[in-house]
Chains A and B, each alone.
Chain A
Amino acid sequence: MIPAISYKAKRINFKEKAFKKTLALSAIIVVVILIAIFLTLLINSFPSLKAIGFKFFYQTTWDPVSDRYGALPFLVGTLLTSFLALVISTPFSIAVAIFLGEYYKKGPVAEIFKNIVDLLAGIPSVIYGFWGLFVLVPLVRELEMKLHVPPYGVGIFTSSVILAIMILPFSVTLSRQVISMVPSHLKEAAYSLGATRHEVITKIIIPYTKSGLFAGLLLALGRALGETMAVTMLIGNTHDLPTGIFSPGNTMASVIANEFTEATGRIYTSALIEMGLFLFVVATIINIIGKQIIKRFTLE
């Protein structure tokens, strides 16, 4: 009896170990890939780091012909479009999340709306770009003519509106989940004290879920920072520092997508890779700041 049990135990033990090891290995691979991407970007940007140095971050001229590369206009363009998109989409995403998480949790209406919001995330970005070019651009141009700014139609503002629509589902999905998870005894207690529904939402649900809502917005911001195709089609692709939200500009992701395939010079290629590294770092910093804010909110 005893040897048989120990044999079986050994087999189980081996399985347990193998399973655990495989899981650990997969987890390690993810980390390794991330570090490898970072190192690849870093190593390949050495030629440009050496040739251009810190001017890369504050110079405003991007001139492949004379090998002068300053990424400031693209950094400004990236941050401007992403944060503007976030500002535009936040009221809508929180409203939709409350609508789906509190008012219509179940039933056909909720299902239809949930699916439509999810569908927004599934549309390829080139289609957003085309829709923007043919529908949104003429509308923005009319708006610009009324505001007496140069009527380009394309530019930072147009890209931000498209981005706002594109990032909406990312924040809605998470926000809806946290809102529907608010303990019902809290809400019932509030109702029993005579609170109206509006009061329950503003005084109970939003304070209770604010770190979750913020995490949703952060996820959306991450998506906006890296979005390439739709932005390229709508931002106007000029290499100048944007002068306002209606002026054309460019983002880091869009410049890389535009110029990398035909970049031939060593420093040129390296400067584009350095921009990729820069984007990587900016995205990481924003992520870390976001995590800190979430932590602080959760601790309170």
Chain B
Amino acid sequence: MNFKKIILSLLVISVAITFTSCGGNDSSNSKSATDSTATGSSNTQILSAGSTFVYPLFSKMFSAYNQKTGVQVNYQSIGSGGGIKQLQNKIVDFGASDNPLSDDQLAQSPVPIIHIPDCLGAVNITYNLPDNPSLKFTPDVLADIYLGKLTKWNDPRIQSLNPGVKLPDLQISVIHRSDGSGTTFIFSDYLSKVSPDWQSKVGKGQSLNWPVGLGGKGNEGVSGLIKQTPGALGYVELAYAIQNKMPVASLKNKSGNFVAPSLASTSAAANVEMPADMRVSLTNTDAADGYPICSFSYILLYKDLSYNIKSEEKAKAVVDLVKWIIQDGQQYSEALEYAKLPESVVTKSLDILKGVTYNGKALQ
């Protein structure tokens, strides 16, 4: 008797839960947003989502910030695309993306969105050859390898760039990312800039129609395929390459210097004139000692925070957090293999942050 009752009531409850939780996403989201704002300043909760690339850095930064100020930041690393969508749906207080928004995306937004760089990343070329010599590539050689025009390691064009290395008579197995990724976007942005052929045949994007090669999922998938395949060549994030001690190639930059990828050469690449809205591609920049395949990772904010944040107090907390990330927070970057923002970028970002308002009123 009792047992049946329990089962019955459990069934009824679970049915009820199913129905109530189906009652639309919007209402539950706005509810949680008001809940978090109502709790007051002592334990403010800031909600954010986006790029998986900055997640390790953000989780370190946010735990340090929580110890310092008591503000809790909940960051969901769901990918840049997801971060943008959640910002557009007003689910999060700020988003994070590895690529700036396109003109179209900005035009669609009812309230202007600003871009604040939070750190720098770079894309490295890595390979699997006997003894893993350090190699040099020029942009046209790299583009032609990825276009499938250069297929052998001992091709004269590669050999002449690396006179001290005996390159084997081996097929180049091209490896790329199979998942949609900011890393692919940066890499294809670079190839589009340096090769008109690539620009017209493939273009740039998070996912591409690759002319040749095998795809691996994530940095670990790419590096797994490279380690497995003699003669493989692929691209991974700078931090991933450093942590796994992978062989990396030096690239010839716009000024004609061969530059090895490192945190310093990545920061150096950003030491150039910035546009007013910070939406800039850092591939193939004019910096003489800069590595040519770099990119900002961005924090995305609404210019008027009353659009997605319920209280002025919380809006202020969000702006304070962003200011801390680009100033004091930068001390955590290099230990985690992210390149620091150059001083000029920090100054300019602080200027942009001064323009952030709440209901038309300046926040600072």
Which A residues are closer than 8 A to B by beta carbons?
A: 15, 18-19, 22, 25-26, 29, 61-66, 133-134, 137-138, 152-154, 232-233, 236-239, 248, 250, 254, 257-264
Whether A153 and B228, one on each chain, are in contact in the complex, defined by CB atoms closer than 8 angstroms, is: yes
Q: How far is the CA of A25 from the CA of B11 in the complex (A)?
A: 10
Partner of A133 from the list B207, B210, B224 (CB cut-off 8 Å) is B224
Q: How far is the CA of A148 from the CA of B45 in the complex (A)?
A: 60
B90-114 interface code vs A (CB 8 A; 1 in, 0 out): 0000000000000001000000000
**Chain A residue at minimal CB-CB distance from B14:** A26
B12 at the interface (CB under 8 A from A): yes
Chain B interfacial residues counted at CB < 8 A: 39
Partner of B179 from the list A22, A26, A258 (CB cut-off 8 Å) is A258
Total number of A-B contacts with CB less than 8 angstroms?
A: 107
Whether B202 and A65, one on each chain, are in contact in the complex, defined by CB atoms closer than 8 angstroms, is: yes
Whether B178 and A64, one on each chain, are in contact in the complex, defined by CB atoms closer than 8 angstroms, is: no
Q: How far is the CB of B282 from chain A (nearest CB, A)?
A: 19
B117 at the interface (CB under 8 A from A): no
Residues of B within 8 A of A260 (CB): 180
Residues of A within 8 A of B290 (CB): none
13 inter-chain pairs at a CB distance below 8 angstroms, sorted by A residue, are A26-B15, A64-B208, A65-B205, A134-B224, A137-B228, A232-B221, A233-B217, A233-B224, A250-B215, A258-B207, A262-B81, A262-B179, A262-B181
Interface centre among A25, A66, A263 (most CB of B within 10 A): A263
B364 at the interface (CB under 8 A from A): no
Q: How far is the CA of A63 from the CA of B11 in the complex (A)?
A: 47
Q: How far is the CA of A238 from the CA of B225 in the complex (A)?
A: 14
Interface centre among B4, B85, B181, B215 (most CB of A within 10 A): B215
Whether A238 and B217, one on each chain, are in contact in the complex, defined by CB atoms closer than 8 angstroms, is: no
B216 at the interface (CB under 8 A from A): yes
Whether A259 and B179, one on each chain, are in contact in the complex, defined by CB atoms closer than 8 angstroms, is: yes
Which B residues are closer than 8 A to A by beta carbons?
A: 4, 8, 11-12, 15, 18, 78-82, 84-85, 105, 173, 178-182, 202-210, 213-217, 221, 224-225, 228-229
Q: How far is the CA of A19 from the CA of B82 in the complex (A)?
A: 43
Other A-B pairs, 9, CB within 8 Å; known A261-B81, A262-B207: A22-B8, A65-B203, A65-B208, A66-B203, A133-B225, A134-B224, A237-B178, A248-B214, A264-B84
Partner of A262 from the list B11, B105, B206 (CB cut-off 8 Å) is B206
Partner of B11 from the list A26, A134, A153, A259 (CB cut-off 8 Å) is A26
Given A65-B205, A153-B228, are A29 and B15 also a contact pair (CB < 8 Å)? yes
Residues of B within 8 A of A250 (CB): 178, 215
Residues of B within 8 A of A258 (CB): 178-180, 207, 215, 217
